[in-house]
Structure 1
Amino acid sequence: MDVPLDFGQKLLFIGGILSLLASLLHIGVIIGGPDWYRFFGAGEELAKMAEKGSLYPAAITFGIAVVLAAWAWFAFAGAGLVWKPPLLRTGLIAISLVYLLRGLVLLPMLLLSPEKVNSFAVWSSILVLVYGLFHAAGTWKAWTQLS
């Protein structure tokens, strides 16, 4: 009989889905090419490099996709759905912190360089902050089960 997920595990499951979707989106950007790099805010420099056939944008984007997929694995492991990687608790804390800090970077940007704040900076920061909240709250709520 399957045991239903508790609240913390559900939060980590959602966090894992979000990380996995972000990973797949990065793969989509590689496939979509220069226009996708532009649309998703990677910057004109990477888009131009991709137009010229450079492998650098794809390599960087693929690296990010791999990291995000690993983060999804950690969240799914915390939810009890896949085998646990080493240092699960430490990893989930680090992942949560990276997401939260990346999400909160908008605040100093607004104070120090408001001219650099565009719609991409706003919506990406909000999304990543939500990712971090799911990971952090799930880690906190599932803490005793993560050992």
Structure 2
Amino acid sequence: MATAGTTALIVGATFSALAAVAHLGCVVLGPRAYRFMGAGEKMARAVEAGKLQPTLVTLFIAAVLAVWAAYALAGAGVIAPLPLTRMALLAITAVYLGRAVAFPLLRPAFPENSTKFWLVSSGICLVIALLHAFGLAARWAEL
């Protein structure tokens, strides 16, 4: 039977994996997906113009999110342990939390991103951070 900490990390991993898939969806579906996800008109137009940078940035973010999902699953004991799991989960939790609360500071650097994007993505990051924090605290001794 899974403990609450294990379940929290599995749910956090699921959210990270879904976010990775959503980013891959933007690459596959193109400018309309970038617009739908709130990435901004500048990114969508760059994709329309055939520029490589939006795709590379999006693929990088998807890869990072996939690795973070793997670390959460390792922390939950679902997959084999990964190197420095405890420290990696601390860092991942901190990044998600930082992203959730720092959006007012980040927003001026990305003026094309919609208010909806900032509120939804920051809320999701906060939920994921809390899941990771709870799961990590609950499973600390086992990692």
Say whether the fold is shared (TM-score over 0.5). yes
**Further displaced range: 76-85 or 38-47:** 38-47
Partner of 2:110: none
Runs of 5+ consecutive residues of structure 1 not aligned to the other structure: 111-115
Q: Is 1:145 matched with 2:121?
A: no
Of 9, 17, 37, the residue aligned with 1:20 is 17
Contact 1:96-1:135 at 8 Å conserved across structures: yes
Q: Segments of 4+ in structure 1 off by > 3 A?
A: 106-110
Structure 2 CA distance for partners of 1:107 and 1:48, relative to 1, 3 Å:
closer
Contact 2:39-2:117 at 8 Å conserved across structures: no
Report the 3-state secondary structure (helix = DSSP H, G, I; strand = E; otherwise coil) of the residue aligned with 2:125.
helix
Using the size of structure 1 for normalisation, the TM-score is 0.88
- Summarize the alignment of residues 1-147 of structure 1 with structure 2, pairs less than 5 Å apart: 4-106=1-103, 118-146=115-143
Q: Which is higher, the Rg of structure 1 or of structure 2?
A: 1
The alpha-carbon deviation at position 46 of structure 1 amounts to 1.2
Letter in 2 for 1:81: V
Q: Percent identity?
A: 41
Using the size of structure 2 for normalisation, the TM-score is 0.90
Report the 3-state secondary structure (helix = DSSP H, G, I; strand = E; otherwise coil) of the residue aligned with 1:129.
helix
Contact 1:5-1:79 at 8 Å conserved across structures: no
2: distance between equivalents of 1:46 and 1:123? 18
Partner of 1:113: none
1: distance between equivalents of 2:114 and 2:59? 26
RMSD of aligned residue pairs (Cα, Å):
1.7
Runs of 5+ consecutive residues of structure 2 not aligned to the other structure: 108-112
The alpha-carbon deviation at position 106 of structure 1 amounts to 3.8
2: distance between equivalents of 1:125 and 1:51? 27
